[in-house]
Amino acid sequence: MDTVAGKRKSGGCPRVRVKTALLVFLLLPAVGFCGCTNDDKGLSGIRETRSDDVITASEATSFSSPVEPNSDCPEDEDEFGNETTPEGGDGYGSISGMVRVRAQKVMAVMRDALSGVPEQIRQLPLLLGYFPGLKRTQEEIPESRQFPCPLESGARSPKNPTSVHRLRPGDIRVVGAIGDSISAANGAMASSEDGLGLNFRGVSATGGGQATWRQYLTLPNILKVFNPNLKGFAKKSVRAPMDSVSSLNLAQNGALDEELLGQAKLLVRKIKADHSINFRKDWKLVNVLIGGNDICNEYCFIESDKDSPEGHRRQLELTLDFLKANLPRTFINLIHVPNIVHLRNMKSIPVRCYIRRMIFCSCLFGGADKGKADSVAKMVQGYWEMERKVASLPKYETDEFAVVLQPFFDGLIPPPLVETLFGTSPDLSYFAPDCFHFSQKGNAHMANALWNNMLEPTGNKSTPVEHNLLSTFHCPTKEAPYFFTRKNSLNFLRSGHQ
């Protein structure tokens, strides 16, 4: 006959498991985590370090989050079953080795304690926003690794080109960005709620130039390698909506289509006012990304066609017409609005993320109505179609002005699920703490994809989803040394040369 004492002796009481799990959970932050490829005690092979309140990365992962070897973790057990480390044969050759080994033992206890806990209870830490080891920054690329593209010849034209169809990376002298919070890198370096709402413009994929490509991969940081005299990128993160360090990254949180023209006018004024720029002769690159806020918070509440795909087209044309008439020698990257509908399928995210999403995108997350999500999906497709039409208009392809659609967001899908000690969760390392905007790591992957699109022919551009940072990184070649436009794309597809 089973008795209470008998049950306790067998260790079968779920209440004991829950108490043990909660106790270890409370102790874990003081111990830390170690993700090891040869040990399933780790948490997705991810760890986090901090320096001067800025998260620095120790591992770059793809959207599929592969686990890479970690030299800081204990190595295999010896023949007697003892854990070994590089510092000492028994794992205690140094204080750090001892801490790592004990951390593994704590995690082993926790894993056993959680084995009998129901999934709903086990996921409570995730729902409360506890993601130990979550790292939202790219891995710093070591000095021993060379820049992916050769710079000896062909990176810059011998003379400043007179045609946008013969524009090399090193010919770009000025870079700017207009649009919404995606380009402003809202919350990109935030590690908690306190950092949300801040614009970390210096790490923006389209307009940031903080540090170098080794720390923060951005399009301006890539261009700086080809032309160290590049101007216009944001230098650091800012708390104010706009200040001097924003430079020509003029994107604004919450910006709508109708505000894009005002940003374009400000861009032209600021370039004209900078006496270090030759307004007439220097080549400018302007990144345009807008439309997400119209889809998220406008079209389902305002009875007009202002936020329809047709309205999106009108505002884009007004802005591009102005830039064509007032900004000579300009290459425009028109970037597809992100497909936000995929975010609806992300489960097991912190409660605060559900709340923030209802604020950021009420048309999609304001209710559980599937029809609403379907409606938003149709709007996104409509916006994409209009962006394709605008980019193909002949009036935007002259010798000194070109608009090129960069469609890498076509391939955006929800992040993969990863296994943690607290259950299955989406890989949130690509997002800010609001699970909506992109983290610095997400911005780095955006920059990588945008750069690749610029070096791919129109009509044959990639929409990458899963790849490690820099695993695919295009370079100018002898046959295709220029950024692709519609005109030189036709030449290249016909003859193999631009």
CB 415 within 8 A of CB 427: yes
Task: Locate the DSSP E strands across 305-442.
Answer: 330-335, 401-406, 417-420, 423-426
State the CB neighbour count (10 A cutoff) for residue 397: 17
Does 474 participate in catalysis according to the annotation?
A: no
User: What are the b/e assignments for 266-290, b being 16+ CB within 10 Å?
Assistant: ebbebbeebeebebeebbbbbbbbb
Query: Residue 55's closest CA among 185, 187, 184, 190?
Result: 190
User: What are the b/e assignments for 9-36, b being 16+ CB within 10 Å?
Assistant: eeeeeeeebbebbeebbeebeebbbbbb
Cβ partners under 8 Å of residue 56, min gap 6: 49, 50, 137, 140
Does 437 participate in catalysis according to the annotation?
A: yes
CB 363 within 8 A of CB 318: no
CA distance 189 to 137: 8
**Annotated catalytic residue within 44, 181, 247, 489:** 181
State the CB neighbour count (10 A cutoff) for residue 95: 9
Query: Residue 47's closest CA among 84, 79, 72?
Result: 72
**Annotated catalytic residue within 437, 439, 445, 489:** 437
Sign of CA dihedral 205, 209, 210, 211: positive
Is 70 in a helix, a strand, or coil? coil
CA distance 395 to 374: 34
**Annotated catalytic residue within 39, 180, 282, 294:** 294
State the CB neighbour count (10 A cutoff) for residue 81: 6
CA 236 to chain CA centroid, nearest Å: 17
Please give the full DSSP string across 466-484, using - where no structure is assigned: S--TTTS-----SS--S--
Q: What share of the chain is helix, strand, coil (3-state, %, to 5)?
A: 40, 10, 50
Q: How far is CA 431 from CA 364, 441, 447, in A?
A: 18, 8, 15
CA distance 30 to 37: 23
CB 232 within 8 A of CB 174: yes
Query: Residue 17's closest CA among 106, 125, 126, 115?
Result: 115
CA distance 355 to 336: 26
CA distance 275 to 490: 37
Does 165 participate in catalysis according to the annotation?
A: no
Catalytic residues: 181, 294, 437
